[in-house]
Amino acid sequence: MRRSISRVIVRRRLLILVAMGATALTTVVLATITGDVYRSDVEILLRGSPVDELLQAPTAAIDDAALARRARNEVALIEGDAVYEWVLADLGFSSGPRAQASVQRGIDGITISVEARSPTMSAKMANAYATGYIEVRGARNAQLSATALEQLYTLSTDLEARITEIDEALAAADDPALIAEREVLERERDQLSANFTSLRMEMGLGLAPAEVVVAATAPEDPEHPGLLIELLQALLVGAAIGLAAAVAIDRAEGRIYHAEDLRQFADRAPVRAAVPVDPAADGCTPTRRGVDPSAEAYRMLRTQLLAIEPDVRKVGVVPVHLGCGATTTAASLSAVLAERDGEVLALDGALADPELHHRFGVDGSLGLIDCLAGEPIDLVLLPLDAHLSCLAVGLLPPDPAEVLLSSRLPLLLDELSSRFEWIVVDLPPLAGDEAAATLIDHVDGVISVVELGVTTSRQLRQHLDTLDALRIRSLGIVANKATFVPRPRRSVVGAGRV
């Protein structure tokens, strides 16, 4: 997975750099437009009240978790609309920056922060928010206390009525159960009385629900992480966006960029050679290859072909699509096969657009078409080297597919097979080419050629499906324009599929 991501980064580095540049530019523009921002903080300390204790279950302990929950509720109140509207009304503003609150000083302290373009405004709003919270919370606590007093009064009245009933019953006769109930009710009445008294005292004192510990002052310096840090953050965000886009594009295109990506097709067509950029691709192919990496890759292909079943002597070289470099592959494979002193024929089967004779730098005015018309083979064969010959297409006919349907074609190929140990046929893409479909029936198997960075998985899959439909044996894949040349693997030898 890491290797795949690194490859995407290398392939799509320009896209990622553009995304990073765009986010960085946006950050600079926004920083220029918005200007400096100042932040002021005010710290308040929360106070408990008897109302809070009454809201707890009788046997519940007010632990740290409960206090923390209360602090979070107060933060929500500070950041809510009630306090915000109070602040605007108090300052006479129609709008203004909202505050952010956070729990500080453990679980009983809260910091209120306000950011504004003016340092004076940020401090003024922060202090107003602290005052507004105290007022809003105080009003709510007063309402809760009044409601609690009413409830306590009602409960106390009910208890007194029940105690009176029990006293009347005990006056008539002693009842241990009634005596026990009366004791319980008296304890509850005493507790209600204590709570009632505490609430009345609090309401009388008018204690605030919180106090300001540190008031806000106008800051001297703007509050922002600095342009450099903002740029770094923007670059990271841009890199993430660019990488996500690069991965999405790669998946959408489905292009094959490395020979290792072809492993998904190994059961149908194993990779026989990964050829780096061939210096002979843009000119004539030398009949005697040197020791450059591409020539060594073709020799690897030769070694693996020789290891396949000995009946494979007529090899078709077929591009998955136009421009894969199949003609260069056919010419180079013919050249390295001839190095073994066996007679090799390079046969041009791309009747619609013959190029093989150009690769060898020879005249292609006579060739396969002329042989099918009755010309002697020796007249049209083009000797290239001691053990290498070429058979060009010749004069192009109006309908190449009809010419190949001639009964002379099998006889011609049989005669060529008796003269040459290997026949390498350069074929066009199979899709929509009747001539290629006709000629491919006379080879023992085909090598499929892909161009890394251009060929897609879908194209290769359709190509292999066509081979299956035509019942043509796949001898493997040659990957052109590889960025590395893998070492030969024993596992791929003889792994061809019939």
Q: Which residues contact 427 (CB under 8 A, 6 or more apart)?
A: 316, 317, 318, 319, 326, 349, 350, 436, 439, 440, 446
Q: Which residue, 313, 348, 343, is CA-closest to 419? A: 343
pLDDT at position 420 over 90 = yes
Mean pLDDT of the 403-412 span: 82
Angle at CA 185, nearest 5°, toward 184 and 191?
A: 95
What's this model's pTM, rounded to 2 decimal places?
Answer: 0.53
pLDDT at position 32 over 70 = no
pLDDT for position 224? 60
pLDDT for position 492? 38
Neighbours of 63 (CB within 10 A): 9
Question: Which range among 44-53, 103-112, 363-372 shows the weakest confidence by mean pLDDT?
Answer: 44-53
Please name every residue paired with 271 in a beta bridge, in sequence order, or none if there are none: 477
Length of the chain in terms of residues written:
498
pLDDT tens-digit profile of 200-228?
A: 776 666 677 888 989 999 888 776 655 66
Decide if 355 contacts 334 (C-beta within 8 A): no
Mean pLDDT of the 222-241 span: 76
Pairing of strands 271-275, 474-480: parallel
Question: Which range among 63-72, 224-233, 333-342 shows the weakest confidence by mean pLDDT?
Answer: 224-233
Measured in whole angstroms, the distance separating CA 405 from the mean position of its chain's CA atoms is 52
Neighbours of 437 (CB within 10 A): 18
What span, in angstroms and rounded, lies between the C-alpha atoms of 261 and 484?
13
What span, in angstroms and rounded, lies between the C-alpha atoms of 242 and 8?
11
**Backbone phi, psi, residue 491, to 5°:** -65, -25
Q: Which residues contact 191 (CB under 8 A, 6 or more apart)?
A: none
Pairing of strands 474-480, 445-451: parallel
What span, in angstroms and rounded, lies between the C-alpha atoms of 257 and 271?
14
pLDDT at position 475 over 70 = yes
Mean pLDDT of the 266-271 span: 90
pLDDT at position 230 over 70 = yes
Question: What are the DSSP calls for 323-336, one per residue?
Answer: TS-HHHHHHHHHHH
pLDDT band at 12 (very low <50, low <70, confident <90, very high): confident
pLDDT band at 312 (very low <50, low <70, confident <90, very high): confident
What span, in angstroms and rounded, lies between the C-alpha atoms of 486 and 72?
62
E-strand stretches of 267-394? 271-275, 314-319, 344-348, 382-385, 388-391
Q: Which residue, 270, 314, 298, is CA-closest to 495? A: 270
Higher model confidence: residue 331 or residue 198? 331
Here the tokens at position 220 are 């001297």
pLDDT tens-digit profile of 351-365?
A: 888 899 998 999 888
Q: How far is CA 162 from CA 55, 176, 186, in A?
A: 25, 16, 10
Mean pLDDT of the 365-386 span: 91
Give, to the nearest 10 degrees, the angle between helix 227-253 and helix 2-11.
100
Give the dihedral of Cα atoms 376, 378, 384, 387; nearest 10 deg.
130
Pairing of strands 314-319, 445-451: parallel
What span, in angstroms and rounded, lies between the C-alpha atoms of 400 and 395?
10
Give, to the nearest 10 degrees, the angle between helix 13-34 and helix 2-11.
70
What span, in angstroms and rounded, lies between the C-alpha atoms of 371 and 347?
12
Mean pLDDT of the 317-329 span: 92
Element at 466 (helix H, strand E): helix 457-470
pLDDT for position 248? 78
Domains of the chain with CATH codes:
1-36+224-253 (no CATH), 37-222 (3.30.1890), 256-492 (3.40.50.300)
Question: Which range among 172-181, 209-218, 219-228, 374-383 shows the weakest confidence by mean pLDDT?
Answer: 219-228
Alpha helix (H) residue ranges in 224-338: 227-253, 293-307, 326-338
Here the tokens at position 475 are 């001898």
Chain mean pLDDT for the chain: 82
pLDDT tens-digit profile of 113-132?
A: 998 888 899 999 999 999 99
Q: Which residue, 265, 247, 277, 337, is CA-closest to 301? A: 337
Give the dihedral of Cα atoms 356, 358, 363, 367; nearest 10 deg.
20
**Residue 108 DSSP one-character state:** T
pLDDT at position 348 over 90 = yes
Element at 460 (helix H, strand E): helix 457-470
pLDDT band at 53 (very low <50, low <70, confident <90, very high): low
